[in-house]
Amino acid sequence: MTNETIAILHPGEMGAAIGARLRSKDLSVVWAGAGRSAVTRARAAAAGLRDAGALCDALVASSVVLSVCPPHAAVALAREVAAADFRGVYIDANAIAPATSHAVASIVEARGASFVDGGIIGPPPHDGSSARLYLSGRDAARLAALLTAGALDAVALDGGIGAASALKAAYAAWNKGATALAAAAHALAVHAGVAEALAEEWQRTQPEAVRRLDVLRRAARKAWRWKGEMEEIAGAHAEAGLPDGFHLAAAELYDRLASFKDSSAPPPLAELTRALDARARRG
């Protein structure tokens, strides 16, 4: 098993951290640097990943592909990999609905790969911060043993394809949903001129809501990426016979924060709140 080579597509913050953990147990890890930014290149190099150049070269060298990308890009990436006739194990570790995971499985298996569903919970795994990579599907137990590496804990789940995606969806449904919910309630109070009274009530009995406003400020630069994830989670709820409105609303709110994309410092709460208000945005 230690002769396996893993392709990470693509090494963003999460993918690079996972790659570094796999390198720490002497696995070969490659990526496809052709056409990628200098920032990504530097990140991948720092993580010890080998740049195989073009996607097809990375795939030829690899027995396992780990797809780690924004949710809205997951299906397109699977198509690219399938188009290159990849026949190893394809793990989709993205924040997608179980139905999307089944769609990705069909795409890559049609061209000879075997599919494993995945879901990552936790921050990028470093010293001092650990993440779980949940895996489900036929080969999940073997891959969990292969990929567990220090702060990265790979865990096989029963339930077949869709189980790992559903777990990630349920976790983020609460976590990112509650953050959007708190931000909307705060914006409602600001709109009515009662934000100070709400803050007092929240400090008295709802410290979690206060905390989440701060979480959102600090994450504002990446909130735009959560739109796609919220839409996937809405889909997962609908599939399960549950209302999808929570996460369609959260998707809309996070989309309104796109102007903070890659901003260097957390915005003041007042600025964030103005961005959430559709009427202030038009005004």
Residue of 269, 226, 221, 218 lying closest to 248 (CA atoms)? 226
Binding region for a copy of itself (CB under 8 A): 98, 121-122, 132, 134, 155, 157-159, 162-163, 166-167, 169-171, 173-175, 177-178, 180-182, 184-189, 191-194, 197-198, 201-202, 205-206, 208-209, 236-237, 240-246, 248-250, 252-253, 276-281
Least distance between a copy of itself and beta carbon 257 (Å): 13
Residue pair 30/55 in contact by the 8 Å Cβ criterion: no
Residue closer to a copy of itself (CB basis): 21 or 132:
132
Residue closer to a copy of itself (CB basis): 3 or 204:
204
Least distance between a copy of itself and beta carbon 58 (Å): 31
Least distance between a copy of itself and beta carbon 29 (Å): 26
Least distance between a copy of itself and beta carbon 87 (Å): 29
H-helix or E-strand containing 223?
none
Residue closer to a copy of itself (CB basis): 32 or 121:
121
User: Phi-psi bin for 241: left (phi > 0), alpha (psi -120 to 50), beta?
Assistant: left
Residue of 70, 84, 87, 61 lying closest to 10 (CA atoms)? 70
Residue closer to a copy of itself (CB basis): 6 or 91:
91
Residue pair 133/153 in contact by the 8 Å Cβ criterion: yes
Report the distance separating Cα 72 and Cα 281, nearest Å.
Answer: 25
**Residue 155: Cβ within 10 Å count:** 18
Least distance between a copy of itself and beta carbon 210 (Å): 10
Residue closer to a copy of itself (CB basis): 242 or 258:
242
Residue 91's beta-bridge partner residues?
66, 116
Residue closer to a copy of itself (CB basis): 20 or 180:
180
**What are the φ and ψ backbone dihedral angles of 115, each rounded to 5 degrees?**
-110, 140
Least distance between a copy of itself and beta carbon 208 (Å): 5
